[in-house]
Amino acid sequence: MKTESKNTKTKKITVTVKDLYISYRGLKKTSIRASIGKLKSKVEVFEALKGVSFEVEEGKILGIIGKNGSGKSTMLRAIAGIFSPDKGTIDLHGNSVSLLSIGVGFNRKLTGKENIYLSGMLLGFSEEQIKAKEKEIIDFADIGDFINRPVKTYSSGMYSKLAFAITAILETDIMLIDEVLSVGDTRFKEKSYNKMKELISDTHRTVLIVSHSLDTIKNLCDEVLWLNDGEIIDIGKPEDIIPKYVEFMNK
């Protein structure tokens, strides 16, 4: 059953993305012999985002869909401040933001407990605030004695559990969720899904969710943004955008 949309009395923008361009640069593959004597290597440029612009109102849940390589995760990382745009602007209007994504944000040499404090402080929380939430985070993550072991020893499931617990318990104004709801065992998927529904019921919290699960997008999101090859194809209500996307993917 679809979560009810959250209505605000006045339109307040939380996220503004304007004319965003991001490119990746890398050396083209070539043999060592072919490279000998060349002063310059050829650089390959991949345009991940090409002039993307949109706004998200306070309290809204925006789902972001698209085939692999469309720029979805790149956009979330840019909004989180991890990637710098080549061109364009991102304005969070003074709001705090957290990114929940596998492989982002942890120091793999530190223990899970140490990463709770590191992540919390990077999000702008004081040591006292984190300590007050420490037990709740550990209990929610439910990874047992691994909480005192280096993160490099974690499975992807344990990593996602701890990452989700930190982001869910240390609540920020804007939450960016990148596929994490689809990782982990069945019990944790259900628990994280229910926690997410609880978090987004707050009319002041804005959430951007990247997911290949169209059911998740349909059930949780107020609006859907469809990216393809770094460009916005369409944005609108889930019931309008998802059928178009499914038809496109089935061609």
So where are the chain's domains?
13-249
Residue 77 confidence (pLDDT) above 80: yes
pLDDT value for 160 = 82
- Per-residue pLDDT of 176-207, as tens digits, reads 988 766 556 778 878 877 887 787 777 788 99
Of all residues in the chain, what percent carry a pLDDT higher than 70?
A: 86
Q: Give 12-47 pLDDT, tens digit per residue.
A: 999 999 999 999 876 555 555 555 555 455 678 889
In this prediction, residues 158-163 reach a mean pLDDT of 87
pLDDT at 104 over 70: no
* Dist CA 101 CA 93 (whole Å): 23
- Provide the token pair at 119: 């992540």
Residue 235 pLDDT greater than 50, yes or no:
yes
**Is 203:56 a contact under the CB 8 Å cutoff?**
no
- What's the pLDDT band for 8 if we cut at 50, 70, 90? very low
Q: DSSP states of the chain as a string?
A: -PPPPPP-SS--EEEEEEEEEEEEEEEPP--HHHHTT-SS--EEEEEEEEEEEEEEETT-EEEEE-STTSSHHHHHHHHTTSS--SEEEEE-TT--EEEEETTSS--TTSBHHHHHHHHHHHTT--HHHHHHHHHHHHHHH--GGGGGSBGGG--HHHHHHHHHHHHHHS--SEEEEESGGGSS-HHHHHHHHHHHHHHTTSTT-EEEEE-S-HHHHHHH-SEEEEEETTEEEEEE-HHHHHHHHHHHHT-
Contacts of 240 (CB under 8 A, 6+ apart): none
Mean pLDDT of all residues in 150-164: 89
How much is the pLDDT for 227? 97
Q: Tell me which amino acid residue 11 is.
A: K
* Better-predicted residue by pLDDT, 166 or 236: 236
**Average confidence score pLDDT of the chain:** 86
Residues 6+ apart with CB under 8 A from 188: 142, 157, 160, 161
pLDDT at 222 over 70: yes
Residue with tokens 């689809």: 182
Buried b (16+ CB within 10 A) or exposed e, 149-160: ebbeebeeebbb
Residue 137 in this model has a pLDDT that exceeds 70 = yes
State the sign of the Cα–Cα–Cα–Cα dihedral 232, 238, 244, 249: positive
- Say what the pLDDT of residue 1 is: 47
Lowest mean pLDDT across 27-31, 91-95, 121-125, 190-194: 27-31
Mean pLDDT of 63-80: 94
Assigned token pair, 45: 């440029």
The pLDDT, as a whole number, for residue 190 is 82
13-249 under CATH 3.30.2130.10, yes or no: no
What radius of gyration do the chain's Cα atoms show?
20
Q: Which of 79-83, 154-158, 180-184, 221-225 is most confident?
A: 221-225
| Phi, psi for residue 80 in degrees, rounded to 5 | -75, -10
Of residues 195 and 218, more confidence is placed in 218
